[in-house]
Amino acid sequence: MVNEKTSTDQLVRRFIEDLGVTYEEQGSSNIQIKQALRSASKSKSQSGVGKPEFIFFSGNHLIIVEDKLAIDKLEYKNNDGIIDTEFPFRRDYAVNGAVHYARHIIEKTNSYKEVIAIGIAGDGLHYQIHPYFVSETELKKLPEMKSLEDISPENIEEFYKVAVLGELPKEERELREVNKIAADMHEDLRNYGQLEGEKKATVVSAILLALEEPTFSLNQLIGSDRVGGTDGEIIFNAVRVYLENAGIVPYAKVGEMLDQFIFIQRDVTLNTVNSNLEMTPLKYFATTLEAEIMDKIKSNTDFDILGNFYGEFVKYGGNDGNPLGIVLTPRHITSLMAELIGINKSDFVLDPACGTGAFLISAMNRMLGQAENDDERRDIKQNRLYGIEIQQKLFTIATTNMILRGDGKSNLIRDNCLTFDNTIMNGYGINKILMNPPYSQAKNDQTQHLSELSFIQQALEMLVVGGKLCAIVPQSTMVGKNRHDKARKKQILKQHTLETVITLNKDTFHGVGVNPCIVIFKAGIKHPENKRVSFVNFEDDGHVVRKHVGLVGDGTEKGKREHLLAVLAGDEDDGTDLIVKTAIKDTDEWLHSFYYFNDGIPSEDDFYKTVANYLTFQFDMTANGKGYLFEGVEENE
């Protein structure tokens, strides 16, 4: 029996067994590797047999793991910042030992010229995982991990492409492909259609809806200038027939949607044959959308393609998007939030500020993944997804989104969720809410009713007792520094239960300048005085900003996400630097940083990081109209 000499060995053994791979300890039965290790001892003389603590293959990739119990024995770098594999460092440090074995195998074998060497230090509660890519010419540090999930046989190839080769993650590759189409369409709509701002998204929505009408065909678009026969009128009539016959929205709402599309009927530029295109711009746009986008939208993915089109169109508009509080939530966040509150196929899901419909798409995708037959899939699409949106342009996009994905049915309502009759949603049995409240609209006493907490408080009233709400908001929302926020926090706890607050990566909304967090409430149950709330620091989520690209995964995002979910479920442990569970008061700052106490000796890097975090927090508070909190600080001190 293998000697389980340290808790670290047991931790690593569990990590590897979770991968479902065959592994060996203290050596290898592979002939080439066994030969290479004969003179690979970590001793000073290197005369003995090398005995890696763990060695296994994931796919075709060779993995070597060395571990140490003490965190400070994770890795040693010399004055040049290089992993030193000389004695005694290869013996005393986990990473150094793993790299030492990797280099020996690469040098002594013909088949294994690349190795992933991993050092792990700590125990089941406090540990660190540092992986390195080792080749004949390279030693490359890879992103830190929270488990070995990212190098499982199912994930290793994607990890290798992203972390080792520097390629973009699969989701980002898909996003860039769609955004390239959107960017080209943006230019075409402007150059050929003379369109600006929100009209671009409106034209795209109209064409996509027309393509759903069975009696419509691109061949009908011949560039006629006769009244009733323009390409725009043909598209408009196809949309009207489709909306009226499908029963997808209340009849009164059909008129509102059609009002958005009226201009395309007689717009001269859109309906005149362009000599360069040899067709009207409308037919050109319709041909492009049918060929490049339609199948992607209907492919049962959680990717909000229309939302990304909208984001691309308004990026340059100046009068749209962020100034109105419209912040499009990244795909990895919408899917995470759906998973955090366990959305399943029997739930009734609402987004009371649904924007382009990204949360509903993620919820639908998760629910469809659990459906077992066509009846269940139809029920999910037609009866279990609801949304409210006040802005007509966003309502039109969201409705189009849900129609294209939902078998011609949409349960979206154009209304103000702050004044909407809660009993209507109570009647639908809404038990899960996902939302990103409009950002930073409460600037003064007159607009405090538009604060993020106000949206959350109203949304909670739409849930059945015991229902779950998951919202993403600026961290400043959880602070409660003015009397309005304090009053709402107190009121909320009298009627509802705060369960979890997760501090997110500061670059989640890269370029927007907001530090976000996720908050989870249980509706209709007064917050128990001694309830321990989970406060999580998930800033290291495996996503980084790449120059000229934006926020992308670094190859470890899946493993870190799975670890977060496992810790919250109680299936895995971690230290207080990740999660603090504590009772709360309404006057507390509901953030991990408020409750977390680091009793370790701070390093110089810790000092700089703390100062940077404070300055970032100050900027965030100022951007949310709370800059007055920092006025006169020096005088008071």
pLDDT tens, 359-376?
999 999 999 999 999 999
In a domain? residue 112? yes
In a domain? residue 197? no
**What pLDDT does 485 receive?**
85
Q: Which domain holds residue 95?
A: 7-164
Tell me which amino acid residue 225 is. Answer: D
Give the residue from 143, 164, 185 where a domain finishes. Answer: 164
Number of domains composing the chain:
2
Who wins on pLDDT, 346 or 180? 346
Residue found by looking up tokens 């300048």 in the block? 513
Signed CA dihedral, 605, 593, 537, 478: sign only: negative
Give the residue from 134, 164, 194 where a domain finishes. Answer: 164
Determine how many CB atoms are found less than 10 A away from the CB of residue 45.
8
Region 10-29: what's the mean pLDDT?
A: 95
Angle between helices 170-191 and 199-212 (to 10 degrees): 110
In a domain? residue 264? no
**What pLDDT does 407 receive?**
64
Which of 167, 157, 140 is closest to 553 using CA atoms?
167
In a domain? residue 72? yes
Tokens of 370: 């659990």
Give the residue from 136, 164, 192 where a domain finishes. Answer: 164
Please check the confidence at residue 316 and state whether its pLDDT lies above 60: no
- Give the confidence band of 600 by pLDDT, cuts at 50, 70, 90: low
In a domain? residue 459? no
In a domain? residue 345? no
In a domain? residue 287? no
**What pLDDT does 439 receive?**
75
User: Mean pLDDT score of the chain, rounded to an integer?
Assistant: 89
Q: Write phi, then psi, for 253 (nearest 5 degrees).
A: -75, -25
Q: Residue 53 is part of a domain; what is its CATH number? A: 3.40.1350
In a domain? residue 269? no
Determine how many CB atoms are found less than 10 A away from the CB of residue 555.
27
Length of the chain: 637
E strands, 78-125, are: 114-122
Angle between helices 281-292 and 199-212 (to 10 degrees): 70
Instruction: Please list the residues that pair with 551 across neighbouring strands.
Output: 545
Furthest-apart CA atoms within the chain: distance in Å:
93
**What pLDDT does 634 receive?**
46
pLDDT tens, 235-258?
999 999 998 887 766 666 788 889
